[in-house]
Amino acid sequence: MPTDIKAEYVQQEQFEELINQKKPVVVDYTATWCGPCRLVAPLIDQLAADYQGRAEVVKIDLDQNKGNAKQYSIKSIPAVLIFKNGQEVDRIVGRATYEEFSNALDKQL
């Protein structure tokens, strides 16, 4: 299994087009200064590798995309949102296990 696959950072301009795909999209709201975000990051990258082709897994830097964070009422991070057909279908806030993320994503596949 390739381990060089990682969740890419996206900007606001790409976001709307991305979440309106047919396949589920996992969005990790993160920031460089956030300690718990650094603990979740490898799990999100693992998700990107494991679900390649079945789901999109991306990250959004909170500091660079404040408007997007406000639009989706992100009040604390890490926050992982799952979108399907442009709609938010699940949200996991705070530290979570890989199983919690993968189980939430599996429900959308």
Structural domain range at position 30: 8-106
Residue 37 bears catalytic tag:
yes
Give me the number of domains the chain comprises.
1
In a domain, 2, yes or no: no
What confidence category does residue 1 fall into, taking pLDDT thresholds of 50, 70 and 90? very low
In a domain, 1, yes or no: no
Which residue among 19, 25, 26, 37 is the active-site one?
A: 37
Residue 4 bears catalytic tag:
no
Tell how strand 87-93 and strand 79-84 pair up: antiparallel
Distances (CA, A) of 98 to 27, 46, 92, 103, 106: 14, 8, 12, 8, 12
Tell the burial category of 42 from Cβ atoms under 10 Å away from its Cβ (0-12, 13-18, 19+).
Answer: exposed
What's the average model confidence in pLDDT over 10-39? 93
Tell me the per-residue pLDDT of 40-92, one tens digit each, with 9 for 90 and over.
Answer: 999 999 999 999 999 999 999 999 999 999 999 999 999 999 999 999 999 99
SS3 assignment, position 90? strand
What does the pLDDT read at residue 41? 96
What's the average model confidence in pLDDT over 1-12? 78
Tell me the per-residue pLDDT of 16-26, one tens digit each, with 9 for 90 and over.
Answer: 899 998 899 99
